[in-house]
Structure 1
Amino acid sequence: NVSSVSHTFLEPGLYVVSLTVIDEKGLSSATKSYSLRIANPLPIPEFEFSCPSMNGTVMSEIPQTEDGVVWQVPHTTEGDAFVAPGDPIRFDGSGSYDADPLFVGRTSTDSESSEWNGIVSWIWDFGDASTPLSGPVVWHAYEIPGTYVVTLTVVDGFEGGETNTTTLTVHVSRAPVILTDDPISADYVSMGDIVLLNSSAVDADLEDGIEAWMDLDRSDDSDGDGNSFNDRDRPLTGSLIVRWDLNALQDTDLDGDTRNDWLWGNQTWNQPGEIRILMQVCDGVGVCSTEEYLITVLSVQEDDKPKSLSDLTWSDLVPNKESGGLLALIAAVLLLGWMIMREKDEDELDAEGMLEIYDVTEVEVEGGLPGMDQHKPPPQPKYLTIQERRNKESGYVRPIRTRRR
């Protein structure tokens, strides 16, 4: 019995509000009715993500039971997810609810429960062309590095159902980029020498502007800011782990794989030869790159290692006792070569004979033999008299004449 009232409608729908006024004498007015349609507010989609871990390591498979499982949250500065390819991610949309006042604060996804949150459907699209999933809690793993957008669509239970969506960006880590061309910065190493292996690599995700951390336990608010999902317990970008396998052909740890016998620190080799080594660089979520190198290891007895011109000293150029035998051998070879060069071959002897026959005073040799134009021509023959032509000893031959017909 007041002049103004307030009322909250807990559910959407069509309502009729009636007003009757009574005066001071108790007389009632005609009743006035008003129809009010309460619109259905959009549902509120909310979801969280986390990764299962055991003993501090993210699991590679979906756990069959939650016994001993600690839920970790790999997140970026902007609140996005940051995972390795193949890591299973648990998406929980059970925190979504119908915005009707009747359902605010309720958390059950069971429509038969008195605490039902009013949501009848959860539809998940993972942005990687995989089949959409439905349900309040789903699992998904990304196999290819890149950036994806997860979309959750929720539907409430009013009439045909109102829908609303929310999204989350997921960054799937790229492998680090190895920049090292030569890990020892030399042509070879010697047996037993302590060698500092050089390494250079960059975090591809950090180069893309992504900074990420791991919240090691989503149930523990380690930074005390009131949000237990955003703790920066361990960096996932920027800090790279470098490991070495000193012989890619030997299985040092006897696990059946010759290419994973990882060691750290300074290294030595105790056998000479060409050794294949591996460098592995991993980021904070275990995404790794591997590069193979060939190292030449020389024996400590090898004193005849090749020297560059800058390595030579004056003592290397002055003969000593050890080089006496080598010098004598070189002198003998030079003397023998000189004697062979002094001896005339058959072509030279023939050339000398031709010089005597043709009475050549000067000869220019082309290719070791005298040329056709390198001597004087024979004297021109003289004219013979009749008596000389008739003398048989003159060698004159009468030309043959033919009679024309």
Structure 2
Amino acid sequence: QNPSAGWLEPGMKNVTIEVTDDDGNTSVAWLQVQVLNQRPVAVFARPLDGTVDTVYTFVSESFDPDGDTALLQTMWEISDLDDSIYNVSSVSHTFLEPGLYVVSLTVIDEKGLSSATKSYSLRIANPLPIPEFEFSCPSMNGTVMSEIPQTEDGIVWQVPHTTEGDAFVAPGDPIRFDGSGSYDADPLFVGRTSTDSESSEWNGIVSWIWDFGDASTPLSGPVVWHAYEIPGTYVVTLTVVDGFEGGETNTTTLTVHVSRAPVILTDDPISADYVSMGDIVLLNSSAVDADLEDGIEAWMDLDRSDDSDGDGNSFNDRDRPLTGSLIVRWDLNALHDTDLDGDTRNDWLWGNQTWNQPGEIRILMQVCDGVGVCSTEEYLITVLSVQEDDKPKSLSDLTWSDLVPNKESGGLLALIAAVLLLGWMIMREKDEDELDAEEMLEIYDVTEVEVEGGLPGMDQHKPPPQPKYLTIQERRNKESGYVRPIRTRRR
């Protein structure tokens, strides 16, 4: 009599009631019920925070509680897009820049009723900028320049590098560091090379900070110059800052080896006491590369724009070795200016290794490595004339080397020393004071003597023992040494 009814679809519904009494009389009534349309429900999964490399896929799980879900229309809104996306159940999207974004979904049923909008926020993290830099040295006519060039006209950029890709330079050589290849890792800036923030090709970097690891003042800018004055190993650090919000930073480093001078091992270049005037002399040289001893192997890429080995990298060609191969040069007279440049100690231009004048000659040996770092050693050479070769030297002709014993004079010196020692032992006689001292030692039975001036002192011996008491027989015995006391009669 009191039925319950429900409708699955909205709209105007007719309800008819018919009643019959006991006499069979019938009556009919009609009732209209308006069934309201329910709003559809927009549903999709909450996205997680990500990065610019994250690929998102948003999938609608919306439904219509009183209609056909398959007929729902969708409207997606993503805050970095200008237009909405309609009537697709899923959307794939990648955010190209870091920041905070909002993703929204609204669905509409076949009656045109819209759902409440479902929205989620997500944060895209800012990727760290990518710091990159190159190094090179300016050269002119194949020689590395010692000063920063004012113009790049005629300059060939060389790259002195080690096996590990580190830099290898001489003290004082200027190095050009170029960090303009750094860039912001946001996809928006990838492939852009301009350091000008007003350019459409801006790489996204707003600051370059250089630390050279030698306590010098840090520099800023995409391209800087620096020279190291002291040999050793240094670490160059580049820090770049991008332009997002407060700026993200990232760093990269490069090791720089500043060459040490070669070590000269030669003590005597001629291995003799003297040379003869006019004779051609073979000069002996021995030296080691200090950098190679430290385990550093380096080469010079003579032109960074030319990939001579064809490996695709034009900065790592091994065109010329910088370690291992030493250059030895001689100045045969350090007191004579052969090349007339005002410096007597740099005349490395000479022919035959010979001297035409007798006397003491100062010569120089110079040893240089592949980057021009040199060591110099000076030697004194005695040059004799032909007539003086076989003559014994007078006292005025002797030099300090003649007075220093050598292996030939060792036996003679030992014999002389033995004869002198034997003669001293034979000729040595004790004087009267020494003889008296020995006699006193025997009389007083001294066991320990402290000698002052070679003689024992009077208070440096022990007293004799106290005489013992003699019996009558011992007193009468003449061999006892007893002396009868002299008695006097009192008056």
Normalising by the residue count of structure 1, what TM-score does the alignment of the two structures yield?
A: 0.75
**Does the 8 Å contact 1:196/1:266 carry over to 2?**
no
**Does the 8 Å contact 1:22/1:29 carry over to 2?**
yes
**Does the 8 Å contact 2:276/2:389 carry over to 1?**
no
The Cα offsets for residues 115-171 of structure 1, whole Å up to 9 and x where unpaired, read as 000000000000000000000000000000000000000000111111000000000
Q: Are 1:6 and 2:92 matched, yes or no?
A: yes
The Cα offsets for residues 151-202 of structure 1, whole Å up to 9 and x where unpaired, read as 0000001111110000000000000000000001111111111111100000
Distance 1:100 1:376 in 2: 104
**Does the 8 Å contact 2:182/2:205 carry over to 1?**
yes
**Does the 8 Å contact 1:56/1:216 carry over to 2?**
yes
Give the number of equivalent residue pairs: 405
Instruction: Note closer, same or farther for the CA distance 1:94–1:299 as it changes in structure 2 (3 Å cut).
Output: same
Q: How far 1:378 moved relative to its partner?
A: 41
Q: How far 1:5 moved relative to its partner?
A: 2.1
Distance 1:382 1:154 in 2: 108
Instruction: Note closer, same or farther for the CA distance 1:29–1:259 as it changes in structure 2 (3 Å cut).
Output: same
**Does the 8 Å contact 1:148/1:171 carry over to 2?**
yes
**Does the 8 Å contact 1:243/1:264 carry over to 2?**
no
Partner secondary structure for residue 402 of structure 2? helix
**Over aligned residues, Cα RMSD in angstroms?**
11.4
Instruction: Note closer, same or farther for the CA distance 1:157–1:364 as it changes in structure 2 (3 Å cut).
Output: closer
Q: How far 1:22 moved relative to its partner?
A: 4.7
**Does the 8 Å contact 1:123/1:135 carry over to 2?**
yes
Distance 1:394 1:34 in 2: 135
Q: Are 1:133 and 2:219 matched, yes or no?
A: yes
Q: Are 1:63 and 2:175 matched, yes or no?
A: no
Superposition map of 1:77-96 within 5 A: 77-96=163-182
Q: How far 1:54 moved relative to its partner?
A: 0.3
Quick one: which of 215, 229, 233 aligns to 1:147? 233
- Larger deviation: 254-263 or 364-373? 364-373
- Larger deviation: 76-85 or 355-364? 355-364
- Larger deviation: 72-81 or 261-270? 261-270
Distance 1:145 1:8 in 2: 51
Distance 1:21 1:377 in 2: 133
Instruction: Note closer, same or farther for the CA distance 1:314–1:102 as it changes in structure 2 (3 Å cut).
Output: closer
Instruction: Note closer, same or farther for the CA distance 1:143–1:111 as it changes in structure 2 (3 Å cut).
Output: same
**Does the 8 Å contact 2:280/2:354 carry over to 1?**
yes
Instruction: Note closer, same or farther for the CA distance 1:319–1:12 as it changes in structure 2 (3 Å cut).
Output: closer
Higher RCO, 1 vs 2 (CA within 8 Å, ≥6 residues apart): 1
Q: How far 1:354 moved relative to its partner?
A: 36
**Does the 8 Å contact 1:81/1:171 carry over to 2?**
yes
Distance 2:374 2:161 in 1: 19
Distance 1:187 1:60 in 2: 42
- Larger deviation: 189-198 or 282-291? 189-198
Higher Cα radius of gyration = 2
Distance 1:92 1:165 in 2: 14
- Larger deviation: 34-43 or 339-348? 339-348
**Does the 8 Å contact 1:347/1:368 carry over to 2?**
no
Residue 383 of structure 1 corresponds to 469
Q: How far 1:52 moved relative to its partner?
A: 0.3
Residue 330 of structure 1 corresponds to 416
**Does the 8 Å contact 1:42/1:163 carry over to 2?**
yes
Q: How far 1:260 moved relative to its partner?
A: 0.4
Residue 184 of structure 2 corresponds to 98
- Larger deviation: 263-272 or 25-34? 25-34
**Does the 8 Å contact 2:362/2:381 carry over to 1?**
yes
**Does the 8 Å contact 1:278/1:291 carry over to 2?**
yes
Q: How far 1:285 moved relative to its partner?
A: 0.3
The Cα offsets for residues 293-335 of structure 1, whole Å up to 9 and x where unpaired, read as 0001111222424599999999999999999999999999999
Instruction: Note closer, same or farther for the CA distance 1:391–1:239 as it changes in structure 2 (3 Å cut).
Output: closer
The sequence identity of aligned pairs, in percent, is 99
Quick one: which of 400, 404, 412 aligns to 1:314? 400
Q: How far 1:3 moved relative to its partner?
A: 2.6
Instruction: Note closer, same or farther for the CA distance 1:189–1:396 as it changes in structure 2 (3 Å cut).
Output: same
Quick one: which of 366, 371, 395 aligns to 2:457? 371
Distance 2:256 2:352 in 1: 38
Distance 2:433 2:281 in 1: 64
- Larger deviation: 18-27 or 289-298? 18-27
Distance 1:320 1:14 in 2: 89
- Larger deviation: 262-271 or 208-217? 262-271
Instruction: Note closer, same or farther for the CA distance 1:307–1:97 as it changes in structure 2 (3 Å cut).
Output: same
The Cα offsets for residues 61-85 of structure 1, whole Å up to 9 and x where unpaired, read as 0000000000000000000000000
**Does the 8 Å contact 2:183/2:190 carry over to 1?**
yes
Superposition map of 1:4-403 within 5 A: 4-22=90-108, 28-263=114-349, 267-306=353-392
Unaligned runs of 5+ in 1: none
- Larger deviation: 262-271 or 160-169? 262-271
Instruction: Note closer, same or farther for the CA distance 1:73–1:337 as it changes in structure 2 (3 Å cut).
Output: closer
**Does the 8 Å contact 1:53/1:71 carry over to 2?**
yes
Distance 2:266 2:430 in 1: 62
Unaligned runs of 5+ in 2: 1-86
